[in-house]
């Protein structure tokens, strides 16, 4: 045993740092790929865990409503207020609803909702599954004839995938309300006229792309939180790390996806 330890440590010492890091990175990537693959394998196979999916949708969706509502409403007010002086310079404050609609629907709603969900939902999933892993609850589920991946991971990922777009749409609604409150205080615009201008500036492509983008963000947040939590180790320290890594990784991926999606949508618009 001592001999093998010595040879193993010699091998490790001989490998350059870059090679070791690349090895670890590719191993981690293959692990993630196999986790995502298992999700797609399990999601279509019965049993479908409908009751647990509904419970998770409630946890992700309904429990996030207060934070999303407040953020959406305030974003509407602040964005309108901050945009007014620039438009007023050109006497174009009547364009405010158009500007707000484009900003909210195309970028702010999906992105801000995803970032809030990364913090609230992603960390929650990471910590909950991490804690279940270190206290052997996941193993307990396995020995009692339940597929823990299906019950814990698949249900949560489905919930985030479908609840984030719903929350993003709700964010748009509250953002519009906030924006109108600010507009009504400063310009003589009726609510109907505001709404009409708001919707005249956006297209189905905008709405569809926002929904698709939010679906991708939701999937990312769910799968990252589950992956970090489900594979957590090293006791309570591991739980904290899982929660933290869920937030950081999902936020990072959300920004990358936003950038990539922007390029795709611009290409579709140009075509």
- CB 187, CB 81: distance < 8 Å: no
Q: Which two tokens stand for residue 241?
A: 């790390």
- Find the shortest distance in angstroms from Cβ 180 to other proteins: 40
Q: Which is nearer to other proteins, 131 or 166 (CB)?
A: 131
Q: Exactly one of 25, 74, 88, 136 binds other proteins (CB under 8 A); which one?
A: 136
- Find the shortest distance in angstroms from Cβ 9 to other proteins: 10
Rounded Cα–Cα distance for residues 39 and 33 (Å): 10
Positions 105 through 124 that interact with other proteins (CB under 8 A): none
Q: Which has the closest alpha carbon to 76: 34, 38, 108?
A: 108
34 binds other proteins (CB under 8 A): no
Q: Exactly one of 69, 81, 137, 244 binds other proteins (CB under 8 A); which one?
A: 137
Q: Exactly one of 145, 204, 259, 267 binds other proteins (CB under 8 A); which one?
A: 145
Q: Which is nearer to other proteins, 149 or 194 (CB)?
A: 149
Rounded Cα–Cα distance for residues 5 and 10 (Å): 8
23 binds other proteins (CB under 8 A): no
Q: Exactly one of 132, 172, 247, 251 binds other proteins (CB under 8 A); which one?
A: 132
Q: Exactly one of 19, 30, 86, 135 binds other proteins (CB under 8 A); which one?
A: 135
* Piece in contact with other proteins (CB under 8 A), picked from 32-40, 101-109, 131-139, 232-240: 131-139
Q: Exactly one of 142, 187, 196, 237 binds other proteins (CB under 8 A); which one?
A: 142
- CB 257, CB 217: distance < 8 Å: yes
Rounded Cα–Cα distance for residues 110 and 113 (Å): 5
Residues that bind other proteins (CB under 8 A): 1, 4-5, 8, 128, 131-132, 135-137, 139-146
């Amino acid at each position: 045993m001592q001999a093998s330890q010595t040879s193993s440590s010699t091998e490790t010492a001989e490998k350059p740092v870059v090679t070791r890091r690349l090895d670890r990175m590719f191993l981690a990537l293959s692990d993630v790929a196999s986790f995502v693959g298992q999700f797609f394998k399990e999601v279509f196979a019965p049993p479908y865990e409908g009751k647990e999916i509904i419970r998770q949708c409630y946890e992700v969706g309904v429990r996030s409503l207060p934070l999303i509502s407040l953020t959406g409403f305030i974003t509407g007010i602040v964005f309108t207020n901050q945009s007014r002086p620039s438009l007023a310079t050109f006497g174009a404050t009547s364009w405010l609803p158009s500007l707000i609609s484009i900003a909210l629907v195309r970028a702010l709603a999906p992105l801000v909702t995803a970032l809030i969900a990364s913090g609230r939902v992603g960390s929650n999933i990471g910590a909950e599954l991490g804690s279940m892993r270190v206290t052997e609850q996941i193993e307990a589920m396995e020995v009692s004839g339940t597929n823990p991946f299906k019950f814990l991971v698949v249900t949560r990922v489905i919930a985030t995938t479908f609840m984030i777009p719903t929350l993003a749409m709700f964010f748009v609604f509250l953002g519009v309300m906030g924006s109108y409150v600010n507009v009504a205080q400063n310009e003589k615009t009726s609510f109907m006229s505001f709404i009409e201008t708001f919707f005249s500036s956006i297209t189905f492509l905008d709405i569809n792309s926002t929904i698709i983008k939010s679906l991708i963000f939701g999937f990312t947040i769910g799968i990252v939180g589950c992956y970090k939590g489900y594979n957590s180790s090293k006791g309570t320290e591991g739980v904290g790390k899982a929660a933290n890594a869920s937030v950081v990784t999902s936020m990072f991926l959300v920004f990358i996806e936003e950038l990539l999606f922007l390029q795709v949508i611009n290409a579709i618009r140009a075509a």
